[in-house]
């Protein structure tokens, strides 16, 4: 088991002694700079623009809400930087504002973020070529948006991207803007006029990735089933005690099952 | 200030941050160790993007209502239809966003 580990880790992460000689010959700063300037890193950063358009108003709202709930600026920044999951953060702040129990807050946060298990499983096959440490820091940036845009890009094999650098270009840009905009919202307390509905840009990005992903009949079955269940489940969340985030988990689960079943029927 | 001690808020933040990270890491770590994802698992994973994206989008476009005309004449649903058409036609993310936002503002202006 440990032999397997070192074999996979050795691919892009040199052993300690190698790293030391590499450091002498090629300063790490230079290596980092060349990675930041890499065409695929920049492509990821560029593809984050659409997401950021929708995410900036969201981050401002979160910063304002955190201030309103009596959180300190340090707590707010650590939440954005460390949890890095908008819906969970906003719901957590709402629960703090209503003086909910601590266990309820933690459990709700977990249920909301459980959907990321699916993202982790879905994107994992693209990361198996990387070492353990690389995978550990890549996992940190796995949000709805980073997952969706990356998986859409990876599906287009003709582009032949460096998967890690593209993902990082996207993830780091979104992370930086998310954290900075949270602070702006907290300090200035100013949002973008709600009537502009800029948050609508986010479902539009997902739609832009979803449409080309439906390339076969079973995929269409999966998407339509999931959409219908999601609408019903969202209604259940707003009217019953079903925790937020559970709706997505249920809908996607049923949709995936429907897709697999449809494929089975077609193969017969 | 809120009704919690400073320490308990920090506890909640750290607990959610750590748990969220472990959820994100889960399969990325696991599948990296086994080096190859089992074929049976792949059959399910193939449908994750379409199912998840549809589940993320649909509730943003449709508000369940007893009145069908009210549901169909929703500016978000109409703008979503325009954006889906552009996505299918050109397959460009930025163009899809721009056309969807412009359609949303147009329908908002026309319907209200």
pLDDT tens sequence across A88-139: 998 899 888 888 888 888 988 888 899 899 999 999 999 999 999 999 999 9
Q: A168 CB near a chain B CB, below 8 Å?
A: no
Three-state secondary-structure class, residue A245: coil
> Based on the domain organization, do B64 and B76 belong to the same domain?
yes
Question: Picking from A36-45, A191-200, B15-24, which range would have the lowest pLDDT averaged per residue?
Answer: A191-200
Question: Residue A64: is its pLDDT beyond 70?
Answer: yes
> Based on the domain organization, do A169 and A202 belong to the same domain?
yes
For tokens 């002498």, what's the residue?
A24
- Between positions 29 and 58 of B, the ones with CB within 8 A of A are 29-33, 35-37, 41-58
Q: What are phi and psi of A14, to 5 degrees?
A: -60, 150
Give the confidence band of A182 by pLDDT, cuts at 50, 70, 90: very high
Give the confidence band of B4 by pLDDT, cuts at 50, 70, 90: confident
d(CA A96, CA B9): 9
With a pLDDT cut of 70, the percent of chain A lying above it is 90
Count of the separate structural domains present in chain A: 2
Residue A17 covered by a domain: no
Give B37's DSSP letter: -
Three-state secondary-structure class, residue B46: coil
Nearest to A226 by CA among B56, B43, B51, B57: B51
Q: A47 CB near a chain B CB, below 8 Å?
A: yes
Q: Do A118 and B46 touch (CB under 8 A)?
A: no
Average pLDDT, chain A: 86
Please state the pTM of the whole predicted model: 0.80
Residue A5 covered by a domain: no
> Based on the domain organization, do A185 and A120 belong to the same domain?
yes
Question: Residue A268: is its pLDDT beyond 50?
Answer: yes
The confidence score (pLDDT) of residue A11 equals 44
Q: A179 CB near a chain B CB, below 8 Å?
A: no
Q: Which domain holds residue B53?
A: 48-112
Give the confidence band of A5 by pLDDT, cuts at 50, 70, 90: very low
Find the angle CA(B34)-CA(B39)-CA(B44) to the nearest 5 degrees.
110
Q: A205 CB near a chain B CB, below 8 Å?
A: yes
Question: Residue A26: is its pLDDT beyond 70?
Answer: no
């Amino acid at each position: 088991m440990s032999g397997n580990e070192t074999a996979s880790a050795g691919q892009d992460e040199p052993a300690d002694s190698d790293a030391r000689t590499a450091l002498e010959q090629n300063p790490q700063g230079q290596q980092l700079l060349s990675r930041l300037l890499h065409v695929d890193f920049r492509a990821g950063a560029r593809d984050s623009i659409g997401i950021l358009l929708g995410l900036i108003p969201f981050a401002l709202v979160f910063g304002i809400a955190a201030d309103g709930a009596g959180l300190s600026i340090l707590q707010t920044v650590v939440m954005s930087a460390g949890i890095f999951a908008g819906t969970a953060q906003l719901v957590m702040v709402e629960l703090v504002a209503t003086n909910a129990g601590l266990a309820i807050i933690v459990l709700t946060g977990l249920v909301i973020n459980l959907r990321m298990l699916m993202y982790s499983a879905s994107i994992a096959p693209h990361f198996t070529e990387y070492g353990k440490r690389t995978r550990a820091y890549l996992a940190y940036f796995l949000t709805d948006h980073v997952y969706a845009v990356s998986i859409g890009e990876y599906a287009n094999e003709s582009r032949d991207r460096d998967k890690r650098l593209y993902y990082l270009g996207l993830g780091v840009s979104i992370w930086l803007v998310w954290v900075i905009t949270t602070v702006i919202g907290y300090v200035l307390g100013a949002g973008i006029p709600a009537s502009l509905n800029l948050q609508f840009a986010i479902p539009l990005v997902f739609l832009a990735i979803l449409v080309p992903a439906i390339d076969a009949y079973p995929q269409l079955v999966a998407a339509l089933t999931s959409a219908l269940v999601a609408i019903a489940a969202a209604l259940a969340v707003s009217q019953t005690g079903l925790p937020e985030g559970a709706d997505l988990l249920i809908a996607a689960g049923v949709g995936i099952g429907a897709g697999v079943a449809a494929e089975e029927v077609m193969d017969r | 200030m809120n009704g919690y001690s400073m320490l308990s808020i920090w506890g909640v933040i750290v607990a959610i941050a750590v748990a969220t990270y472990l959820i994100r890491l889960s399969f990325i770590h696991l599948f990296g160790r086994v080096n190859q994802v089992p074929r049976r698992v792949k059959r399910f994973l193939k449908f994750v993007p379409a199912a998840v994206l549809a589940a993320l989008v649909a509730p943003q476009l449709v508000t369940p209502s007893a009145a069908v005309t009210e549901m169909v004449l929703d500016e978000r649903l109409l703008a979503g239809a325009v954006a889906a058409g552009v996505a299918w036609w050109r397959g460009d993310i930025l163009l899809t966003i721009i056309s969807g936002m412009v359609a949303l503002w147009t329908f908002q202006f026309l319907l209200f």
